[in-house]
Structure 1
Amino acid sequence: MRTLCLRLVFSKTNKPTNFQQIRCLPRWNHRRPVKVIASEKYDEERDTEVKQKHHKEDHKPTVKNPTKIKWRQPILGPRILDDNKSIEYKIKADIKPLTIKKQKTDSKKAAPFDMLETVIDADGNFVYTKMQNNDPRISAILVEAKSKKEKNKKDLFLLEGKRLIKEALDAKCKLDYILFSRMDELEYIRPSLPKTGAKLYKMPYREMQHWSDLVTNPGIMGVFKIPDTESMELPKETLPITVICDNVREGNNLGAILRTCSGVGTNKMLLTKGCVHVWDTKVLRSACGAHFKLQIQSKLDWPSIKDLIKPNSSIFIADNQTVTSTDSTEVVEAIQSVPLLPYYSVDVSTAQNIVLIIGGETEGISEESYKFAAEMGGVRLNIPLSNGVDSLNTGTALGIILFEMKKQLIMAKFKDGAKSDNILLILPDVAYDYHCYSWSFSYIYTLFLKRYY
């Protein structure tokens, strides 16, 4: 039992002089004292306690060859025994010091089931891992695929929906993960799935809805490696048209441009450094699989673009014929150095290589584009608008100009190699009517596409 002693020393002026005890007084007041001793009996009580303590230590069992450590006791006020006296402490010799041991793991053990990269086994069954809500593996995979830093570092892109995933698989893109919630979605892409080399995870639908960027979750996601689009195989029916995207920073606009170029059948696409990342989620969603049908080169500067353009190319710029007050004198001079014509008045039927430059809605065409077009003898193409409309959406304007170019190229080929007599024989009599001329022309055009393309 410890003895709690309260002793205040007062001077002649009845003021406390021991400030050490005054400082500890509030703490002592909150304790329940075991014994209260008068100040004049404090010395006697202290000597009694010390004797009892030494008596207990002397009667303890001794240890062979004990290790002794001596040090001076710190000064703690009235509880000090003697300033020059040292206290001896005995430590048992058989006590070993504490050590921290790392738990050894057996690396020879078999890998967990979810680490297997078998997609379809020998019996034709899917090999997948079923996960519950808040599974850490789900967040690890999707954070890696959605984080801008991580997906650029590991060259990953995320697709949602069975159709986009099937097109990516048909284009021989490297599959890493498939996350699905319904077996029907997985059965749809079965013919395109590799038998090994990927991992399948089945997760709850609500958990997938939490990670999805769409309003209605399609029920399946795929994580792929970014392919080499520069060497992508092109369809046979391609046109000698190269589209250059200059500072297109909106993902939906770039996706619409890719989709339009894929529909027209362009040969190549070049993206400057100011464009949005071509494998961004918004671009992938709005392009609807056009990434896997085009040869795309991104993050290019203008010296590199000039090296990729053939010398006999015809350069065109899609321009809305607007010059703002913020444009510098050099920009205005560069714009005026390139002639402006309506898009339908330019004949591209004899052009061997066509280069069309399209700008973003925010930044527009850069000064380097105008200078490049002026050096190559290019032309600005304008789409006449009505009702006070200043400009069109980037994808809409590109579609109008590209399909006009495609029509001229196809009609030139029609005049050179097609046998119009064979086509006219299968037309009805109404095709020769003057009032149905426009209908017959479109019908001839459709038949020509079916026969020669």
Structure 2
Amino acid sequence: MITSRRNALIKYASRLLERKARDREGKFLVEGVRMVREAMKRPELVEYVLVACDVTGEMEEEFWRDAASVYRIRPELVKEITDTENPSGIVAVCRKPVWDWESIPESDGLILIVDNLRDPGNLGTILRTAWAAGVDAVFLLKGTVDMYNPKVIRSSMGAVFHFPVFERVGNDEVRELCHRGYRLVVADPKASLVFTDADYYGNVAVVIGGETAGISAVFEELPASRVRIPLREGVDSLNAAVACGIILYEAWSQRHLVRENTSMI
């Protein structure tokens, strides 16, 4: 039983609420039963789990059985290691997944590029949607909110454990992606092409910009299809996460349709 906020494990976990510490240590926090369960699917990434002593029953036994290191803590200490008003009582300290370019498909790949997105809730929702919609990898360009921000992690519902997400991607990496044969499809409310008329077959990288900053200049110099989502008169834009979901599911629909048709031949 850990009873003091001065305990080394509590102090270490509490530091991970700050980005500087997450960057320095290569660790982040996962909170809540469902999220910790997702983390347990990658047990090599789970360093230790802290469980409030008032959490009982099957939930506690599950984590006690599956995690490498589980510690009971006093309930009042949970607020030292979370940023939520009503924490669930279960927090895991996890290592950041490490991915490389070999994770990116050479053919028939779907990549999502997120550019200048500052809202953590939006980014988490986008990652969750990308995971569900069959995206193979996500590139987060410089200027995008930290993907290991606790609010991003909660909103993503464990997506970060299941497919490659590359942080702080620069212009050179975007150019390299194009050099590898990926076509850019850029969401742009001023575009003339409606998103349903775009071609999402083969190697495609969908680009979603932030609602305030928009997209970076590098996408002006690279060949790209620009698409818009039709909106009711008087509405100038959609929430970035909503727009992302609409476009990704059109890509999903087209790509699965061609696979089904091919399998029938």
Give the alignment's TM-score, normalised by structure 2. Answer: 0.88
- Distance in 1 of aligned mates of 2:164 and 2:56: 34
Shift of 1:221: 0.7
Q: Letter of the aligned partner of 2:76 in structure 1? A: R
RCO higher in 1 or 2 (8 Å CA, sep ≥ 6)?
Answer: 2
- Stretches of structure 2 that go unaligned for 5 or more consecutive residues are none
Q: Letter of the aligned partner of 2:164 in structure 1? A: Q
Q: Are residues 1:346 and 2:217 paired?
A: no
Q: Are residues 1:404 and 2:250 paired?
A: yes
From 211, 228, 233, the counterpart of 1:361: 211
Q: Write out per-residue CA displacement over residues 147-197 of structure 1, whole angstroms, 9 at most, x where no aligned residue.
A: 322221111100111221121121234322221112433312345323xxx
Q: Name 2:73's counterpart in structure 1.
A: 203
- Distance in 1 of aligned mates of 2:264 and 2:39: 36
> After TM superposition, where is structure 1 displaced by more than 6 Å over at least 4 residues in a row?
231-234
Shift of 1:223: 0.7
From 83, 92, 102, the counterpart of 1:222: 92
Give the alignment's TM-score, normalised by structure 1. Answer: 0.53
- Distance in 1 of aligned mates of 2:43 and 2:73: 25
Shift of 1:265: 0.8
Pairs within 5 Å for 1:22-421: 130-137=1-8, 139-181=10-52, 182-184=55-57, 185-194=59-68, 198=69, 200-209=70-79, 211-230=81-100, 240-321=109-190, 340-348=192-200, 351-372=201-222, 376=223, 378-418=224-264
Q: Letter of the aligned partner of 1:176 in structure 2? A: E
Shift of 1:416: 2.5
- Distance in 1 of aligned mates of 2:42 and 2:136: 17
Shift of 1:302: 0.5
Shift of 1:255: 0.9
Question: Contact 1:162/1:188 (CA < 8 Å) preserved in 2?
Answer: no
Question: Contact 1:159/1:223 (CA < 8 Å) preserved in 2?
Answer: yes
Structure 1 residues 314 and 173: alpha-carbon distance in aligned structure 2, compared to 1, 3 A threshold: same
Shift of 1:357: 0.8
- Distance in 2 of aligned mates of 1:243 and 1:134: 41
- Distance in 2 of aligned mates of 1:189 and 1:300: 35
- Distance in 2 of aligned mates of 1:289 and 1:385: 32
Q: Which deviates the most, 155-164 or 136-145?
A: 136-145
- Stretches of structure 1 that go unaligned for 5 or more consecutive residues are 1-129, 322-338, 420-453
Shift of 1:244: 0.8
- Distance in 1 of aligned mates of 2:49 and 2:118: 30
Q: Which deviates the most, 133-142 or 255-264?
A: 133-142
Percent identity between matched residues is 27
